[in-house]
Chains A and B, each alone.
Chain A
Amino acid sequence: MKNIIILGWQTLKKPSAYYSLGALVIGGFIAGIIFWGGFNTALEVTNTEEFCISCHEMEDNVYEEMKTTIHFTNRSGVRATCPDCHVPHNWTDKIARKMQASKEVWGMIFGTIDTREKFLAHRRGLAENEWRRLKANDSLECRNCHNFDYMDFTEQSERASYQHSTALADGEKTCIDCHKGIAHQLPDMKGVEGW
């Protein structure tokens, strides 16, 4: 085993004896395109709702709950899918989130939340993860669609326009501070600010 590794390293260290520089450069370039494209395609596949709800944990709990909310069905037919809110659009943030998701794969394999009861027991912690992320990035995933600059306060109800033109406009509050549980049911909210 050790000999094989040493042989491999020695081969890599040596200049190419048989292949032309052109073949190596162009071949490397083409292989790069294929690998990078493949990586990105695979990444995008994991960024679809079908992929998310291919696990019953997601389909039976959070997806079912979402169906009754305004982010699933509404008058204009614009809807949010799982990754719209749960995966950052920015590339580096997206990769960071995808690496965190390896823990979710672990949970899937070992059945951390494979029954409704287990899911409910973990719900507060899971919700807090998302609240923390949205609080830290100033509710970026909300703002990907809901742009504060284009909000028409006159179209909002009196209470909504008051809150949005004061606390939200000052930057004192961000979307998630008030709009918890808009797409899924809430965990036990004991001790959460504003409850």
Chain B
Amino acid sequence: MKNLNLAVIASLLVLTVSPVLYSLSANAADKETVNSVATLRDHTPIMVQREPNAIPKVINKDIKQGRNYPMQPPVIPHTIRGYEVNKTNNKCMSCHSRHRTEKSQAPMVSVTHYMDRDGNFLAEMSPRRYFCNQCHVTQLDAKPLVENTFTDMHSLMKEKSKAEKH
């Protein structure tokens, strides 16, 4: 009888403790998999100040870069340090506006920038399209933190038609 009691207590103990132990080990494993994606802190313990990454340089080649999808706003292929875009001035437009492109040979902003949201054309740039950096950004000469797996629709269509032929 005594032995049976001991066995029951032991089995109960195992039953209660094992899920706790399991969850503990599972949590640790989870954390590891979550953190295996590189973060800016790069596994630095919470109480340690990490040495910051080097700041990458802005690409300044003046060569147009491809768009990854048809509606993508083109990226800026030059530095824009100190360019003022505010209530009074828009430095970008001193090269990219219609009457400046002949001199600057920069691409003109598309006519959609002069349309309000109802499609009416305005004489000046539409306020909703005025702040260039809302959509257009410079590119950094840096290694991506995570791999980009984006596939554009043209590649998808090509693959599909290839598969259908076979």
Contacts and interface: CB of A to CB of B under 8 A. Distances in A.
B62 A158 contact: yes
Nearest to A167: B103
Given A70-B81, A186-B89, A187-B88, A194 B62 contact: no
14 contacts: A70-B81, A157-B60, A157-B61, A157-B62, A157-B78, A157-B79, A158-B61, A181-B82, A185-B84, A187-B88, A188-B88, A189-B88, A189-B89, A190-B88
B94 interface: yes
Contacts of B62: 157-159
Nearest to B100: A194
Interface in A33-69: 68-69
Contacts of A157: 60-62, 78-79
A14 to B, nearest CB: 67
A6 to B, nearest CB: 62
Decide if the interface of chain A is mainly helix, strand, loop or mixed: loop
Interface of A: 68-70, 157-159, 181-182, 185-190, 194-195
Interface residues of B, number: 12
Given A159-B62, A186-B84, A188-B89, 18 more contacts: A68-B82, A69-B82, A70-B81, A157-B60, A157-B61, A157-B62, A157-B78, A159-B78, A181-B82, A181-B84, A185-B84, A188-B88, A189-B88, A189-B89, A194-B94, A194-B100, A195-B89, A195-B94
Interface string B61-74: 11000000000000
Contacts of A181: 82, 84
Contact of B82 (A70, A159, A189, A195): A70
Contacts of A158: 61-62
Contacts of B88: 186-190
Nearest to A178: B94
